[in-house]
Structure 1
């Protein structure tokens, strides 16, 4: 197909035998590449190629200045701000947040050649009015605030002067300078023919420069607009061009060139709604696969235009294998590379470090990063794993470099990354450059060319930071450095290499200027993305912008509208894809441009609409069932002969799948740092402390005096068991300190209540933490069944034997009461009663009893005393209900046998219960 550039080139070649003295000026470099290719194809003889410039490069040449980088501008502006001697000096970090907006305003003011004295005077007056109070004089805060706005003209002039002294400028300053130097430039190039191609919205500088060249020189301008938009007085796609045609004196005697009538031709336009970004990418992939089947050249004449450039990565991953050649006009953002997240974590490691060291979660995140593992690990040693495991095993909440060095093998690499000293911004960038240098050796040895490419770009980035920090000394903290690093990183891209003409074209909206394709796929055609919405990141109010001729969001919307319709002009197949999901961050509804298209009576017949959604197959959650094969039966047999514990049997009652995973497969929770004392750790400390307190009393009758003496040891014993059970976890702060004091309080209250009981009863300690085991012979099984467990306490109160279990969780009287014997092996809410009966069976096997009591002491409700197991034995309850005798045990053994036989039955699978 013949696109805009080819059509214009044919017209120029029909009037000129040679193009060597021509200078072509286009909106973008990308269009220049395609123009050069078209000239090469149409050339019939050898000659010098014409000069081809983007408008920005052309104006840079006129001005004699070079563009200052954004960071150079920001530092120069901060220097100028400091010289203005504000009453309250902002740090560079806080200044950078609003300094970018001020740079943007200065840039726009100069591009539109605004009278700055008048504008800043108006702006200062507006600020004063908004803070004016007729009743009272201005406060010092108000005076200081207004001083800044009154000094804005001085700051602007000094800032521009500081850049001009370096022969540099921001874009607006370069444009303003170019206007003043245009005459001398044209004298030097009086034999050149200037041709402007495909422009639309022009700022005041561009407008003046182009008009002056058109009036004074052999020159021409070709627009790229369809007649239907140009003639429509309200269509935004022709807004700027109608204005140029009306107001430029050049068109009083010259034709308005570049107007076409392609938009009215028949087209195939599909509007497709898909949920979320990934669905858009997948849909594009399917479209490209179908297009590639139509003809060999179909893909060469296809462009995928990304209104939201963050879709690049998913789109690349969705390109079908059938497409061999892809050209990407936008770079791959350096922010998305693995090294970017590595350095982000490295920054945060030192920014978030406090006097106690690094918090474990931040350090574990850093250690688990692939770049960290590459840096720290050698063929012999896995240092990152050694450190991670030490943190988890030793339960370090906060970690110092000394702790890391104590467990790691390669001290050199460790000391490079983990330092005790507090880095200055300059020393930190040097440390990053040292890490890059060592990573270079690692990646070179691995022949990892892609990682080396990333590394090269980050080396350049940190060298740039280093140069800026040496030149400017006012940055004194890592937080400011991180802000600066992110600012640099956001503008850095990795360029894709390849033939810019061949294959599928993937580009952003601005790269599509002047280019035409038969098939166009535009993604993210959502309100807030295309067009971008009413964002007004400026200190200049809307009304003031209108009064001084500065662009507002209305003009920006018209720019997007032009680009959108210009892409559609010559295209034959158009696919407009939008996100159907109402997400504020990604656009909540289809673009108004789609709605406008749907209201076009001339185009409605070409349009089809559809919503593309993946086939959703409902997945009904089915209960998990584990059949008992030979291997599983072997595991069950081993577990049965080693011993069922009351807890493991309770796990089965709760959910057989839990029993299968936890007790048979031994799948426990992953090893992790206990930032705060976990419930099981809490319980272990309480149990172990009580064991140590009561061990001297085993075989003795408790006395008030002995218990008072024991109270003195509580604090030392709790600390001892915290150190043993909580590893090297810190209990001096926060929730851990609260947990420590709660345990102290629990045990003190327990001893206090024990003293009250001892005063009224005779209590003798028989045993503590006694391990019990009993063999149960079931004829149905050809292997023995063992029941094992540990009794917290066995004592005797007024001659009655008692089995006591300590619980730090909540237990209620109903949990230890059995009304229906079958419930104890089917309903987990009776698990406490089940466990007490298991302990009673085991105790009876070793010490046959006539009667015994079993109960639970819950530390959540110590005042309730011992919650005794009981079961009704008649129509009326009596004191005997709490006694466990031979009859009780026989009744329980019937149910226990039924439970164990069910577990050991190969024909009954483990079936998931809803917990």
Structure 2
């Protein structure tokens, strides 16, 4: 079947011959020209003088002395006019959305050649209109109906504010147009109107052929009429008898506009020729397919293309996206066989890595830079250093990252420290010292310089998408910088950041390809004038086809309709034409829609699909796609202890197998507690060796670091008090409490080592931020509280601080699994006290958290996994340490009673506070009272860990799963 453009090409050759040098073929868009040119050459069968191919937009622009301004420039100027006329001091980024709406309203008003003073008339009263002489009775009724919504009783203030804003729009319109005229610029509607009203235009070509138009703005009709009167305009209309009116039968809205224009601008082709205009009613394979998600629709593409020779049909096959947000998914779902594809829609620039880099660079120079100290925040620096494009900026970025995070923790690096080569010198070089407005321009230029550096260092083999995204971003930033330097755009840095974000979201990256070769992937608008044999339409939901009815505008619907501006009704008719024209000549049509309800929208098929089902004579096939997924209850996947896993366990914990490695295999209370918490978590950590990263570029202090600083500082304070001895008196502690500067010095020194990762004796007090200062004060308060509590306990002896205790354990894991390992760990503090019940050694573990201790009822409760959230892990740790201490000649030479203790600093109040652990309400004064039972249960639990018959089973505790670092790997996300 011949396409519409083929019929047009035949007619052009027949009527105008082979010399078309004085002929201009005008299309609604550019794409059709490529197909038309090929048809002309093929039909002519010989060399010809090609006609000029121009779009309707080009036709207007060629006959105006003014240029169309880009949207950034236009909205900047509109913002100034808005501020001048209303006195409202709105920032540009907040105004930008308003500006787009206002500009669209002005554009529509001028393209429809409406009288601005009449449209923007100040309608002060709902009963009286200022000047109605120019309005018809129908128009007056429409306006009255609109203002009847403003009840005097309830909405008088709303009406007053609306009319107040309305009264300024005409001033803004005039001021804006005067400003643009002075600059030799115009927005598209104003330029079109100027050309349409200029009767002195000298047109370039002898003949203008207008091909495939549908709706015409009044400016276009005016131009068509003028050229028609001169005998220079001829028209080719693309339609089908199916949706054109027959007598009083208006049929579909698809033919609403063309039916009007055929009388004004007669068709060059024969309207009665069924080969051209009676194709929709011919036999077609039409299939409607419902799908539960958008992505499922995209995945269907591969299967669809492989059937019925659709890939081999090449450019006669089209995939049309009613929702262009599906483009990325569609690209990934194309089969390998479809090696030639032409994509007419663009890739969103905001989703490219270069867009994230721009955002990070501006964040680096705003929140990431402290102008007073001329230093950067580490978190902002790290974000940039970890960006994938850093490899194009600096070869030493990984070394710089290590120097700031691993070798030391430099939370506030200086420029001197950051500038290690040419790339980092540009990245972290000085751009301050400017005023607020000047700084915006400087940052824009700085970003441009970085983009140039990336481009120059990128390999020639870099993918085309990377290059195109870089070029688009460079062009955008260059335009912004030019506007700022010319004072057209006066904004601060924050506004610049928001504005760039909006511009990136509204910019797309075009794909390059041969338009007339391969499967065509298109948006709806690109299908105009082009016919296909095989058509797949995706996301043909109500709201996508036609586009949603949200017609946001400063000009209400009633006023628009009264003054014959574009309304939602027009847009529905326009999309109806696009839809029917797309499928009227196709033989094979598949239309997909999303049938699920999501985000408050129901999955309804397009009204046009319903029309085909109800009104057409076609037998429509109905299919549905399934996602192939179903909700299933999580079934924990256990890990059996295979020979390989057992070998890994023994290599990690068997003293004999581990002997050749440095250090001693140590089964810590933390490891045992992890096993009781979740055996599979133990497997990931100790068998697979998957550790949680400890590095953090945040300058905040988490609980682990806070606890480490407190522990280290308390150790240093008691080492300072004892001065190498062991005996502590009340006077010793009183002296330390009276020397607050000494406590602060020790805390600062500990911060330097634990938080800032600097070696001992590295220097003076570190530079804290606000949160770090608060944490510093809290730690100092805790240390003072500990000292005051110990002063009431004195005299006592310090047996050890941060003392390592270990002992060998015989493991019988079952069968032939027998080996020796080492258990133990580090005790925060060992002291010897006499509190009236006799001397005893306390094994003390400091706790700085806010949770209160829940006492265990007995020894067995410590090894019950159900109690893991009730501090049974704390009990296990201190009881194990106490058991080892009680048996060690080094730590307990006099065989004193040993008691386990947890000292919760926040809750250590009152002179009678005793940190000794209890069973119920009974303190454990001597570990030997329960030593035998504890040892038995401990051995049983350790033997379970190494028993080949007991697999590593995931826990069923949802609370543990939610905070587990291996949650995604395990697949158990809790209920």
Query: TM over 0.5: same fold?
Result: yes
User: Residue in 2 aligned with 1:502?
Assistant: 517
Relative distance call for 1:824 and 1:702 in structure 2 (3 A) is: farther
Matches within 5 A, 1:184-583: 184-185=201-202, 192-217=206-231, 219-231=233-245, 232-233=249-250, 235-244=252-261, 248=263, 260-291=277-308, 294=309, 297-355=312-370, 357-377=375-395, 382-387=396-401, 390-391=404-405, 394-405=408-419, 409-410=420-421, 412-422=422-432, 424-443=439-458, 451-472=466-487, 474-483=489-498, 485-486=500-501, 489=504, 493-583=508-598
> 1:597–1:603: 8 Å Cα contact kept in structure 2?
no
- The residue that corresponds to 2:788 in the other structure is 752
Gaps of 5+ in 1: none
Shift of 1:904: 4.2
Deviations 1:251-304 (A, max 9, x none): 69998678722222222222223344332222112211224xx37743331111
Matching of residues 120-139 of structure 1 within 5 Å = 120-122=120-122
SS in 1 for 2:926: strand
Among candidates 807, 830, 842, match of residue 793 of structure 1: 830
- Mean Cα deviation higher: 736-745 or 448-457: 448-457
Q: Which moved more, 1:427-436 or 1:113-122?
A: 427-436
The alpha-carbon distance between structure 1 residues 631 and 116, as it changes in their structure 2 partners (threshold 3 A), is closer
1:198 to partner: Cα distance: 2.0
Contact (CA 8 Å) 1:804, 1:857: kept in 2 or not?
Answer: no
Contact between 1:62 and 1:181, CA under 8 Å: does it hold in 2? no
1:590 aligns to what SS in structure 2? Answer: coil
Q: 1:491 to 1:656 in 2, by over 3 A?
A: closer
Gaps of 5+ in 2: 131-146, 759-765, 961-975
User: Cα–Cα, structure 1 residues 40 and 680, in superposed 2: closer, same or farther, change >3 Å?
Assistant: same
Cα gap change, 1:454/1:2 in structure 2, threshold over 3 Å: closer, same or farther?
A: same
The structure-2 alpha-carbon separation of the partners of 1:633 and 1:223, relative to structure 1 and needing over 3 Å to count, comes to same
Q: Does 2:625 correspond to 1:611? A: yes
Q: Distance in 1 between matches of 2:496 and 2:124?
A: 32
Structure 1 residues 361 and 583: CA distance shift in structure 2, 3 A: farther
Deviations 1:157-185 (A, max 9, x none): 34334444555432112221222235644
- Whole-angstrom distance in 2 between the partners of 1:242 and 1:456: 45
CA deviation string 1:504-560 (max 9, x = no partner) = 111111111111111111112123322221223322122211111111122112211
| CA drift at 1:93 | 4.1
SS at match of 2:908: helix
Whether the aligned pair in 2 keeps the contact of 1:65 and 1:168 (CA below 8 Å) is yes
C-alpha separation in 2, matches of 1:266 and 1:131: 50
Tell me: CA distance 1:795–1:157, structure 2 relative to 1, closer, same or farther (3 Å).
same
CA distance in 2 between partners of 1:548 and 1:143 (Å): 22
Q: Select 2:931's aligned residue among 856, 881, 889.
A: 889
Q: Distance in 1 between matches of 2:876 and 2:498?
A: 61
- CA 1:474/1:467 → structure 2, altered by over 3 Å: closer, same or farther? closer
The alignment partner of 1:575 has SS state of: strand
2:804: which partner in 1?
Answer: 771
* Superposition deviation, residue 99 in structure 1: 2.4
User: Matched residues in 1 for 2:927 and 2:348: separation?
Assistant: 77
Question: What CA RMSD, in Å, does the superposition of the two structures yield over aligned residues?
Answer: 4.0
* Residues 394, 124 of structure 1: alpha-carbon distance in 2 compared, 3 angstrom cutoff: farther
Matched, 1:39 2:68: no
Structure 1 residue 340, shift from structure 2 partner: 2.9
Match of 1:169 among 186, 203, 207: 186
Aligned to 1:654: 677
Partner of residue 905, structure 2: 859
After TM superposition, give the deviation of residue 570 of structure 1 in Å: 1.2
Give the equivalent residue in structure 1 for 2:884.
842
Q: How many angstroms apart in 1 are the aligned matches of 2:587 and 2:461?
A: 49
Which structure: greater helix fraction? 1
Kept after mapping to 2: 8 A contact 1:221/1:257: no
Distance 2:749 2:350 in 1: 49
Higher mean displacement: 517-526 or 599-608 = 599-608
SS in 2 for 1:868: coil
Residue 7 of structure 2 corresponds to which residue in structure 1?
7
Q: Does 1:672 align with 2:696?
A: yes
Return closer, same or farther for 1:584/1:206 CA change in 2, 3 Å cut-off. Answer: farther
| Cα shift at 1:679 | 1.7
Preserved CA contact (<8 Å) 2:540 2:605: yes
Paired residue for 1:710? 736
Q: Which moved more, 1:416-425 or 1:901-910?
A: 901-910
Counterparts of 2:284 and 2:672 in 1: how far apart (Å)?
A: 72
Contact 2:284 2:618 (8 Å CA) reproduced: no
SS at match of 2:106: helix
Q: 1:808 aligns with which of 806, 823, 848?
A: 848
Please tell me whether the aligned partners of residues 269 and 575 of structure 1 are also in contact (alpha carbons under 8 angstroms). Answer: yes
Q: Is the 8 A contact 1:598 1:604 kept in 2?
A: yes
Q: TM-score, normalised by structure 1?
A: 0.86
Match of 2:54 in 1: 53
Matched, 1:77 2:114: no
1:334 touches 1:494 (CA, 8 Å); kept in 2? yes
Structure-2-length-normalised TM-score: 0.81
- 3-state SS of the aligned residue for 2:804? strand
Whole-Å separation in 1 of the counterparts to 2:406 and 2:549: 50
Instruction: For residue 211 of structure 1, report the CA deviation from its aligned partner.
Output: 3.4
What is the CA–CA distance in structure 2 between the aligned matches of 1:609 and 1:399, rounded to whole Å?
62
Aligned partner of 1:901 in structure 2 is: 943
- Cα distance, 1:565–1:360 mapped onto 2, change above 3 Å: farther
- Tell me, in whole angstroms, the C-alpha distance in 2 between the residues paired with 1:642 and 1:782: 15
Distance in 2, matches of 1:503 and 1:133, equals: 60
SS at match of 1:340: helix
CA distance, structure 2, for counterparts of residue 86 and residue 518 of structure 1:
55
Q: Is the 8 A contact 2:709 2:754 kept in 1?
A: yes
CA separation of 1:694/1:206 partners in 2, compared to 1, >3 Å: closer, same or farther?
Answer: same
CA distance in 2, matches of 1:751, 1:473: 65
Aligned with 1:747: secondary structure? helix
Task: Give the equivalent residue in structure 1 for 2:27.
Answer: 26
> What residue in structure 1 maps to residue 750 of structure 2?
721
Give secondary structure in 2 for the equivalent of 1:271.
Answer: strand
Task: Please state how far the C-alpha of 1:728 moved relative to its aligned partner.
Answer: 6.7
Partner of 1:622: 637
